[in-house]
Amino acid sequence: MEFSAQQIADFLKGEVVGNPEVIVNNFAKIEEGKPKTLTFLSNPKYTNYIYETKADIVLVNADFIPEKEIKATLIKVPDAYEALAKLLELTESTKTPKKGVEPMSYVAPNVKMGEDVYIAAFAYVSEKSTLGKNCKVHPHVFIGENVTIGDNVILFSGVKIYPNCTIGDNTIIHSGAVIGSDGFGFAPQPDGSYHKIAQIGNVVIGNDVEIGANTTIDRAVMGSTIIKNGVKLDNLIQIAHNVEIGEHTVMASQVGISGSTKIGDKCVFGGQVGLAGHLKIGNNVKLGAQSGIMSNIKDGSEIIGSPAIPIRNFYQSSVIFRKLPDMYKQLGQLEKEITKIKEEI
């Protein structure tokens, strides 16, 4: 589909600077812009590209002031990144959605399905499960017995959902994710072996959650592992049994959370953060990449390092760490001088 700059600006309630009649039919990164494409500028690091991009339209923040001439037409909006998200969502909504149950899929006779459900070939939906309206189940998805799935849920190819789990409305789960696998529970025996502890709980996922590819969320030993509304999990994350993650918390790739840890609302975890078990993490906590967390953290804390320390202390320590070679040389020189003084005395 093609849209003019003026049509886009009207949709976004933005201001056109340049030719309002210019037409675009695709998106591009600002450094790879081509004619008839739309791009955006929100990160100042990419500002230099706006003066040379071949894209015909660039979304910019309302406070953007160019330092020299720009060939592209600008659309000024309060937040360029948010505006781009709206346009991408609009583009997706124009695609004709798939509906119905394809041949070579299996749906148990007593499964309950809402309107406009799509189940692709080679998907398997087990007995007593429920799928809300407009759910999309892609090839090779497995849905276990007594699973409840809300409205507008998308399960991409290869997702596995174990029995008795619950998934809320508008949730997206990407390929290879496993929901409800056994937690890592083993009782040590006198002979040094380990006896498996049965995991009889489930996983409960709230509304508006997104779970990345190959992320795993273990079922609880008893009760539920809980992912609350609005949580966003990147690819390759491990959530252990009986963990609770608060609303609108986000985690980058390769985070690992040990069993029974409780995480508050609106937390932000960088990549490869690791948390020990049975911890309590407060609300609005920020953990820098590769942080190792071994104790409880209060609301609003900003932590980094392994073992983790307050972020200000970490940066101060980093400055000292860089100076250690020089300090070591100075210490050696002082030792020589002290030795010489002692000999003279």
Rounded average pLDDT over 176-204 = 96
pLDDT in tens, 261-307: 999 999 999 999 999 999 999 999 999 999 999 999 999 999 998 87
CA atoms of 131 and 133, how far apart (whole Å)? 7
Domain ranges of the chain: 3-93, 159-306
- Partners of 148 in the β-ladder: 130, 166
Phi, psi (degrees; rounded to nearest 5) at 344: -65, -35
Binned at pLDDT 50, 70 and 90, residue 312 comes out as confident
318, pLDDT greater than 90:
no
Residue written as tokens 């202390």? 313
27-36 — which CB contacts under 8 Å span 24+ positions?
Answer: 27/84, 27/87, 27/88, 27/91, 28/55, 30/55, 30/58, 33/58, 33/72
Binned at pLDDT 50, 70 and 90, residue 1 comes out as confident
| Distance, CA of 317 to chain centre | 30
CATH topology of domain 3-93: 3.40.1390
Whether 174 is catalytic is: no
Rounded average pLDDT over 132-142 = 97
pLDDT the model gives residue 310: 84
**What does pLDDT average to over the chain?**
95
Q: Provide the total of helices (H) and of strands (E) in the chain, helices listed first.
A: 3, 40
H-run or E-run covering 178: strand 178-181
- Annotated active-site residue in 140, 241, 248, 278: 241
CA atoms of 209 and 172, how far apart (whole Å)? 6
pLDDT the model gives residue 315: 80
Rounded average pLDDT over 126-134 = 97
CA atoms of 219 and 328, how far apart (whole Å)? 51
Q: CATH 2.160.10.10: does it fit domain 159-306?
A: yes
Can you give the pTM of this predicted structure?
Answer: 0.84
